[in-house]
Chain A
Amino acid sequence: MIKIYGSFVSRATRNLWMLEELGLEYEHVSLDWAKQENRSAAYLKINPAGKVPTLEDGDATLSESLGINLYLVQKYGQGGLWPDDDAGRALCVQWSFWAAAELEPLAYGRIREFLFKKEPDRDQALIANMAERTGPLLDLMTLALDEHAYLSGETFTVADLNAACVMEYLDRSDFDLSGWPKVAAWYTNTYGRPANQKIQDQRAPIAADMMKRLQG
């Protein structure tokens, strides 16, 4: 049985979404990060970096949320979320790495200010600078979405899932997407998929609790 480690308020939700899309059975081990459960000796054996998420699937054990999704889709999503053709696959890998290397530093850098600081302590100059650098990335997505309905072609693939689960940080920090209507529509459509909705419904009460603790 596939096991995924990491709570609903961690990057594990990216993998829970993928597991639901693929219709796989899995066991969810929700390590509590506030209690340092991810630093226990038992967990460090599974992932020496002590971070979540980690996936176990038979003999394969791996970490890195977006990498886990690429692994799952190649093994269980052939012809669906993992396209059959080389060009489609190349774009799936491309957008996943673009999300990791280009979008996540800006989107995560932004949401950190919102999550871990109270309003008066937020670094407004940093937030503005990051927003400015995010613009060209959204322009680039718009060009892809001008060509086809989804990032890698006419159908929903791992490219969309991996990009949307990073874009989530912009959404949760009230980034104004109105200047990029195609991206906004793509995001709503992608993020609102039933498989993700199922995960987000489970996450909501836990996240509300966490926000109370963080924002007081």
Chain B
Amino acid sequence: MITLYGNDRSRATRNVWMLEELGVEYERDMVDHTKGEAKTESFLAINPGGKVPALRDGDVVMFESLAINLYLAMTYGKGGLWPDDAVGQAACVQWTVFSATEVEPHTVGALIELIFKPEAARDEAAAQACLARLPPVLNVLETTLSDLAFLGGDTFTAADLNVACVVNSLNMIGFDFTPYPKMTAWVKTCVARQG
């Protein structure tokens, strides 16, 4: 049985999305990192780094949300969310790393300063600096999606899920998506799959 650690106020939601797509059975352990539960001895035995999400699947124990999604897709999504061909697999790893290195630092940076921190500690200038880094990155997505329905081609794969979950977080801060019509339509299509 697969166990996913982390509640819905954490990046575990992106793993829930993947698990639901794959239709595999899993249970959740709602470790609440906002209450220090990611630093308890029992959870540190799962992830000594003290962060959620983490996953256990038999003798596989791992952390890093986007890595968990790639592992799940590679293991349970062959021929679907993890395509059979090298070109499709290349797209999955490329876009997932792109999401981690080029998109998420800026989205998370803005979210922290605009909504996660207590109001008194928020730094509007720091948030704006993060948001200012996004246009060239989102333009890469816009360009790619003007030729393709999905990031890896005609079908929805792990590439789409792993980028869409990060881009979609910008909706929490009322981000202006109008300069990116193709990307916006694509995010909507992806997110709608979660039902």
Q: Say what secondary structure dominates the interface of chain A.
A: helix
With A94-B63, A94-B64, A94-B67 already in contact, the answer to whether A105 and B105 are too (CB < 8 A) is yes
With A87-B60, A93-B70, A100-B100 already in contact, the answer to whether A75 and B86 are too (CB < 8 A) is yes
B57-82 interface mask toward A, CB cutoff 8 Å, 1 = contact, 0 = none? 11111111011101100110000000
| Contact assessment for B62 and A94 in the assembled complex, using a CB-CB cutoff below 8 Å | yes
Determine which of A48, A58, A71, A100 lies in contact with B94 in the assembled complex, contact meaning CB atoms within 8 Å: A71
Q: Is A57 an interface residue (CB 8 A)?
A: yes
Apart from the given pairs A93-B64, A97-B97, 6 other A-B contacts in the complex at a CB distance below 8 Å? A60-B86, A68-B93, A70-B93, A71-B90, A87-B60, A89-B74
Measured between beta carbons, the chain B residues less than 8 angstroms from A101 are 64, 66, 100-101, 104
B residues near A, CB below 8 A?
A: 48-49, 57-64, 66-68, 70-71, 74-75, 86-87, 89-91, 93-94, 96-98, 100-102, 104-105, 136-137, 140, 143-144
A residues near B, CB below 8 A?
A: 48-49, 57-68, 70-71, 74-75, 86-87, 89-91, 93-94, 96-98, 100-102, 104-105, 136, 140, 143
**Closest B residue, CB atoms, query A65:** B97
Query: Could you write out 6 A-B pairs with CB less than 8 Å apart?
Result: A64-B94, A71-B90, A75-B86, A91-B62, A93-B62, A97-B96
Measured between beta carbons, the chain A residues less than 8 angstroms from B136 are 49
Q: Say what secondary structure dominates the interface of chain B.
A: helix
With A96-B67, A98-B64 already in contact, the answer to whether A64 and B140 are too (CB < 8 A) is no
Q: When chains A and B are docked, how far (Å) is the Cα of A63 from the Cα of B102?
A: 12
Q: When chains A and B are docked, how far (Å) is the Cα of A86 from the Cα of B61?
A: 10
**Closest A residue, CB atoms, query B86:** A60
With A90-B71, A93-B67 already in contact, the answer to whether A58 and B86 are too (CB < 8 A) is yes
| Contact assessment for A90 and B94 in the assembled complex, using a CB-CB cutoff below 8 Å | no
